[in-house]
Amino acid sequence: MADNNNNHRNIAFICSKGDLAMAYPALIMGWAALGNGHDVTLFFTFWGMDIINKARVDNLEITPVANTSMKMSMMGVPGNLGIPNVMGIIPGMTAFATKLMNDKMKKLEVPPVREYLQMLADAGAKLYACKMSVDMFGLTKDDFVDGVQDIVTAADFIDMTEGSQIIFV
Amino acid sequence: MATREIAGKTVQVNEEGFMTDPSLWTKEIAVELAQEEGISNLTPDHWKIIEYCRQTAAASGSAPTLRNITNNAGVSTKELFSLFPKGPAKKVARISGLKKPEGCV
């Protein structure tokens, strides 16, 4: 019968971007994978360090500048009207776009990023920070949210994900 | 779709083994499905979650998501994953005689 363990998978996500829109894919898919009984590893690197940085996690942003997918339709304006880049550089536009997206997520009952990370850790996901990025940004383990298990090198990550499906975000 | 007997009752199940008619579900069926999922003993904590799922599905028409369960059934994420290890999303729904949850969170 349907036994979820028959098709057990190890899935690893590399989170390399720190804007709000790119924080969510690994969290959502990772959570779904855990719910279906798979093992999940998340490796945070480069700008993705913001997602696990205590000082940044609650302030991830999205900017309309050079974002060709963010249209006025997000604000209820019908059609395919874009947000001109020159408008995007007006002070407050990034905050406005960020609030818009956070509100939409909240409406869908999607938890904020910090809470999502805690859910994943509680459900057994393994969270790691990239050693090179830690050195580059001058961070230590104390800078990270609870649930981040360790700081590991790229080679460590490659070793620990042998046989895993790797998803780069 | 297939027909099978669970705990003495003949029911229809889909290709993943989920019951297609929640109204035919009984507690005895839950016990047997739980055993198939590797849970040999359903404790009061298990039942609390199963009953929450049954009530939610009766009201909304679909099985609650894990997030919905941890928000409303008085159980933490850790507890939920420890009560229904290795895949609570599908296990809880299947044991409760429901289809897979439809939400992503």
**pLDDT at A6 (0 to 100):** 62
ipTM associated with this complex:
0.92
Enumerate residues 6+ apart whose C-beta is below 8 A from A122.
Answer: A147, B76, B77, B78, B81
Residue B99, pLDDT above cutoff 50: yes
Per-residue pLDDT band for A1 (boundaries 50, 70, 90) equals very low
CATH code at position A93: 3.40.1260.10
Mean pLDDT of A85-104: 91
Q: What is the pLDDT of residues A70-91, one digit of tens each?
A: 888 888 889 889 888 888 889 9
Q: How many domains does chain A have?
A: 1
* Residue A88, in any domain of the structure: yes
**CA atoms within 13 Å, Cβ hemisphere of B48:** 13
* Residue A101, in any domain of the structure: yes
Per-residue pLDDT band for B103 (boundaries 50, 70, 90) equals confident
* Residue A3, in any domain of the structure: no
* Residue A93, in any domain of the structure: yes
Residue B55, pLDDT above cutoff 90: yes
- In chain B, the residue whose alpha carbon lies closest to the alpha carbon of A25 is B104
Domain holding A22, by residue range, is 9-168
Mean pLDDT of A139-150: 96
Residue B13, pLDDT above cutoff 50: yes
**pLDDT at A151 (0 to 100):** 97
Q: Assess A123–B contact: CB distance below 8 Å, yes or no.
A: yes
**pLDDT at A88 (0 to 100):** 87
- Write the single-letter amino acid at B20: T
**pLDDT at B105 (0 to 100):** 86
Of the candidates B36, B78, B104, the beta carbon closest to that of A122 is on B78
- Quote the CA–CA distance of A128 and A32 in Å, as a whole number: 19
* Residue A2, in any domain of the structure: no
Q: Assess A25–B contact: CB distance below 8 Å, yes or no.
A: no
Take residue A125 and report the two structure tokens written for it: 């996901």
**Hey, how many other C-beta atoms are within 10 angstroms of the C-beta on A96?**
16
* Residue A147, in any domain of the structure: yes
Q: Is A15 helix (H, G, I), strand (E, B) or coil?
A: strand
Task: Determine, for residues A28 and B66 on separate chains, whether the beta-carbon distance falls below 8 Å.
Answer: no
Task: Determine, for residues B105 and A111 on separate chains, whether the beta-carbon distance falls below 8 Å.
Answer: yes
**pLDDT at A3 (0 to 100):** 46
Task: Determine, for residues B81 and A123 on separate chains, whether the beta-carbon distance falls below 8 Å.
Answer: yes
For the whole model, what pTM was predicted? Answer: 0.92
Residue A139, pLDDT above cutoff 70: yes
Q: What is the pLDDT of residues A11-31, one digit of tens each?
A: 999 999 999 999 999 999 999
**pLDDT at A2 (0 to 100):** 44
**CA atoms within 13 Å, Cβ hemisphere of A102:** 18
Residue ranges with strand state E in chain B: 2-6, 9-13
